[in-house]
Amino acid sequence: MTHNIISISGLSKTYPKGFEALRNIHLDIRQGELFALLGPNGAGKTTLINLICGIVRPTVGSVSVGGFDIITRYKQARAMIGLVPQELTTDAFETVWATVCYTRGLFGKRPDPAYLEKLLRDLSLWEKKDSQIVTLSGGMKRRVLIAKALSHQPHVLFLDEPTAGVDVALRRDMWQLVRDLRNAGVTIILTTHYIEEAEEMADRIGVIRKGELILVEDKVELMRKLGMKRLSLQLAEPMTAIPPSLAGYGLELSPDGNVLTYTYDSQSERGMIAALLDTLNRLGIAFHDLNTSQRSLEDIFVSLVHEDAAP
Amino acid sequence: MNPIAFLTIYRYQMARTWRTLFQSVFSPVISTSLYFVVFGSAIGSRITEVDGIHYGAFIVPGLVMMSLLTQSVSNASFAIYFPRFTGTIYELLSAPLSYMEIVLSYTAAAVSKSILLATIILLTASIFVPLHIAHPVWMVLFMLLTATTFSLLGFIIGIWADNFEKLQLVPLLIVTPLTFLGGTFYSVQMLPPFWQTVSLFNPVVYLISGFRWSFYDIADVPLSISLLVTGAFLAICLAILAWIFKTGYRLKQ
Ligand SMILES: Nc1ncnc2c1ncn2[C@@H]1O[C@H](COP(=O)(O)OP(=O)(O)O)[C@@H](O)[C@H]1O
Ligand SMILES: [Mg+2]
């Protein structure tokens, strides 16, 4: 049985100058899952994360983490969370070791040098533990931020665009780490605008656009939809409505009546196309061209996020 | 109250102090020595005595107060402004800490640092003039109360400021003039009546007067009033901070 570690309900955020960054978000994150939040720049991903972590205040709605409300029981809620922020914000003159110990201390946890050593080794930071952060490269700083977020052994890890501007080696290490954490039972929520990442890593995918969560789906389910093919028929004569005898095929007619589209699962098509074409022939519906296409997650994503915003 | 988190912030802030110890100690020692050369020796050779006290010795409490005030304000304001400026404030805001715990730990660090410096100045002064401390317990109490109040003020400034200029503006335009006009180098009673009345609106007058009383048993205003005004100032700072945290002003949107 899975239960929800994060529950978001009716959450909206309007920034002080009146900009509505999030609108009526309802979302449950399951314990132990890897949830990818996809969306173009400015969609509200960071706002959502910052809200859950206590950096931004909600305007209306509620959020609980591990059953603790983030406003009334913020201490218990925040104690469960590790956050890797989008921006590379670190102290400059502290050493890697000092900054990691600092974060652990902020979360009220006793020092545990053995755990922190393992953490830094896993992130290939151990050699740099006595270096000042200012001397590290961007990729190394990103690792430091991850180490800080994990320093207090959180149950939930937020990764806000962890791979933006990151080199291949770090990206690979990072995914390995994320997999290990997930296997260890840590719930992970990451934002990205790289679809392949979400496709490869996530259990579930959410798409956010202009502050609205427009889709939340199991990746497997999404991939099944990806397996769907579309057969488009360019009709010789425009059609005003789909004839009743074609009702069983779930056809779509384009608004101008010129294109009839049949969506099917290429693995279990079982002669339906032949039957469809046969029926069309009997009804005397002619077409002068036909083509098939496969939708990718990319297409789904692009069509979702580029549709004009609903009112 | 989480003792581990409190100590973590306190130590982290103090570590910054130790790193810059040389300059933090060196410059106040130099400037105090300069004050003694200019005011104590050059001017003091003309004035010699105020209220029956050697002028060099008379200005010591004022000098100590002056550095206590400016150091407290600048330490605390910088300590909280800096993470806001670099963005690392996210860490404090997302940690399981109450605002109270954050203020207490930052203030404790700022107070420790400015009291450390005040002590160094006091020691430097004792090289130049014979010091006499009539009420040492009160002296320590006044130092603590002043450092706390002005660290809180600094904390407020550090949250209010949205650029480095503003961060320096308040200490420069308000704190320094108030200290100079607060009776550091003179007794308020030496002023013409009109300016004596004006001085009564300057909270620093009460601090320096009370502090000087703890040294030499002489005061411009009664001790109880000194304590009352300092306490009121502390209460005002606390009230402003409470409001800041309630509204999230400049910290959380
Ligand atoms: N502090 C702020 N004040 C006003 N508007 C903001 C603030 N932070 C973000 N926004 C706006 O909210 C929207 C969502 O931003 P953000 O959550 O950062 O999006 P994403 O992380 O998906 O790129 C953007 O249009 C952004 O301009
Ligand atoms: Mg973002």
E runs forming strands in B7-109: 49-50, 53-54
| φ, ψ for residue B61, nearest 5 deg | -55, -40
Looking at residue B124, its pLDDT comes to 84
> Would you state the pLDDT for residue A92?
83
Please name the residue of chain B whose CA is at the shortest distance from the CA of residue A19: B253
Whether residue B197 has pLDDT greater than 90: no
pLDDT of A126 reads: 95
B248 pLDDT higher than 50? yes
Tokens in use for B66?
A: 């002056």
For chain A, the straight-line distance linking the first and the last C-alpha, in angstroms and rounded, comes to 38
**A44 close to ligand 1 (CB < 6 Angstrom):** yes
The pLDDT tens digits of the residues spanning A235-255 come to 988 988 888 888 888 888 888
Going from the C-alpha of A270 to that of each of A26, A293, B31, B125, the distances in angstroms are: 39, 18, 92, 98
The structure tokens listed for B50 are 């105020």
How high is the pLDDT of residue B26?
Answer: 80
Task: Residue B87: name the closest of A88, A82, A47, A144 by CA.
Answer: A88
User: How would residue A194 be classed by pLDDT, with cut points 50, 70 and 90?
Assistant: confident
User: Using 50, 70 and 90 to split pLDDT, how confident is the model at A91?
Assistant: confident
Question: Binning pLDDT at 50, 70 and 90, where does residue B106 land?
Answer: very high
With a CB-CB cutoff of 8 Å, which residues 71-130 of chain B face chain A?
A: 86-88, 90-98
User: Do the beta carbons of residue A63 and residue A83 sit within 8 Å?
Assistant: no
Q: Closest Cα partner for B240 from B159, B144, B133?
A: B159
Closest A-chain CA to B19:
A93
Q: Are the CB atoms for B138 and B49 separated by under 8 Å?
A: no
**Taking residues B170-177, what's their average pLDDT?**
83
- pTM equals 0.83
CB atoms < 10 A from the CB of A121, how many? 12
Residue B143 lies in a domain: yes
Give chain B positions within 8 Å (CB) of A108: 2, 4-5, 96
The per-residue pLDDT of chain A, averaged, comes to 87
Inter-chain CB proximity A89 and B97 less than 8 Å: no
The pLDDT tens digits for A92-104 are 889 999 999 999 9
User: What is the reported pLDDT for B137?
Assistant: 93
Q: Range with the lowest mean pLDDT among A142-146, B1-5, B49-53?
A: B49-53
Residue in the block written with tokens 């800096």 = B82
- Any ligand 1 atom below 6 A from CB of A47: yes
Is B62 within the bounds of a domain? Answer: yes
Confidence of residue A305 (pLDDT cuts 50, 70, 90): low
**pLDDT of the residue at A198:** 78
Interface confidence, given as ipTM, is 0.87
- CB-ligand 1 contact for A210 (6 Å cutoff): no
A43 lines ligand 1 (CB under 6 A): yes
Give A149-193 pLDDT, tens digit per residue.
Answer: 999 999 999 999 988 777 787 888 888 888 899 999 999 999 987
Interchain proximity A108–B2, CB inside 8 Å: yes
Which of A85, A107, A110 has the CB atom closest to B90's CB atom?
Answer: A85
A93 vs A44: CA distance, rounded Å: 32
CA A18 to ligand 1 center in whole angstroms: 12
Q: What is the pLDDT of residue A152?
A: 96
More confident residue, B198 or A165: B198
Q: Give the percent of chain A with pLDDT over 90.
A: 50
Give which of A227, A233, A309, A298 is closest to A266, Cα–Cα: A227
CA distances from A129 to A119, B14, B206 (A): 11, 20, 50
B199 located within any domain: yes
Ligand 1: residue whose CA is nearest its atom 18: A46
Residue among A16, A98, A103 minimizing CB distance to B91? A103
Cβ of A92 and B86 within 8 Å? yes
Nearest to A189 by CA among A63, A48, A36: A36
A311 — pLDDT class (breaks 50, 70, 90) = very low
A271: left (phi over 0), alpha (psi -120 to 50) or beta: left
Residue B217 has pLDDT above 50, yes or no: yes
Say if the Cβ atoms of B94 and A78 lie within 8 Å.
Answer: yes
User: Could you tell me the pLDDT band of residue B81, with boundaries at 50, 70 and 90?
Assistant: very high
Minimal Cβ distance to A106: which of B87, B91, B252: B91
Q: Classify residue B28: in a domain, yes or no.
A: yes
Backbone angles phi, psi at A111, to 5 degrees: -60, 140
Atom of ligand 1 nearest to the CA of A43: 22
The pLDDT of residue A304: 66
* Residue owning tokens 């057969």: A231
User: Which residue's C-alpha comes closest to atom 27 of ligand 1?
Assistant: A42
> Domain count of chain B?
1
**Alpha-carbon distance values, A282 to A273, B169, B251 (Å):** 14, 87, 71
Whether B33 contacts chain A with CB within 8 A: no
Burial of B131 (0-12, 13-18, 19+ CB in 10 A): middle
Q: Is the pLDDT of residue A267 over 70?
A: no
Q: What is the pLDDT of residues A200-248, one digit of tens each?
A: 789 999 989 899 998 898 988 877 766 677 888 999 889 888 888 888 8
Which is it for the CA torsion A144, A146, A149, A153, positive or negative?
Answer: negative
One-letter amino acid for residue A278 of the chain = D
Asked whether A53 and B48 are in contact (CB, 8 A), the reply is: no
Of A34-38, A302-306, B214-218, least confident by mean pLDDT is: A302-306
H helix runs in B87-183, sequence order: 89-94, 99-128, 136-160, 164-170, 176-180
Does B18 lie at the interface with A, CB-CB under 8 angstroms?
A: no
Give me the half-sphere count of Cα atoms (radius 13 Å) on the Cβ side of residue A22: 28
Give me the pLDDT at residue A309, please: 43
Residue B60 belongs to some domain of the structure? yes
Contact B109, B6 (CB under 8 A): no
Give the residue numbers spanning the domain of B28: 3-247
Q: Which residues contact B107 (CB under 8 A, 6 or more apart)?
A: B76, B148, B151, B152, B155
Query: Does the beta-carbon distance from A74 to B96 stay under 8 Å?
Result: yes
The C-alpha atoms of residue B166 and residue A271 are separated, in whole angstroms, by: 76
Residue A2 contacts residue A30 (beta carbons within 8 Å): yes
Residue B15 has pLDDT above 90, yes or no: no
The pLDDT score that the predictor gives to residue B132 is: 83
pLDDT of amino acid A291: 86
pLDDT, position A5 = 95
Res B77: pLDDT: 93
pLDDT tens digits along A126-138: 999 999 999 998 8
- How far is the C-alpha of A211 from the C-alpha of A114, rounded, in Å? 42
Give the phi and the psi of residue A17 in degrees, each rounded to 5: -80, 10
Compare A74 and A270 and report the one with higher pLDDT: A74
* d(CA B219, nearest CA chain A) in Å: 44
Q: In the sheet where A259-265 sits, what is the strand order?
A: A252-253, A259-265, A228-235, A287-294
Cα–Cα separations (whole angstroms), residue B90 to A19, A54, A141, B80: 21, 9, 16, 12
What domains can you pick out in chain A, each with its CATH number?
29-53+75-224 (3.40.50.300), 228-294 (3.30.70.1560)
Q: Are A233 and A290 in contact (CB under 8 A)?
A: yes
Q: Is the CB of A21 under 6 A from ligand 1?
A: yes
Nearest Cα to A4, choosing from A42, A32, A23? A32
Residue B253 beta carbon below 6 angstroms from any ligand 1 atom: yes
Ligand nearest, relative to CA of residue A48: 1
**pLDDT at residue number A296:** 64
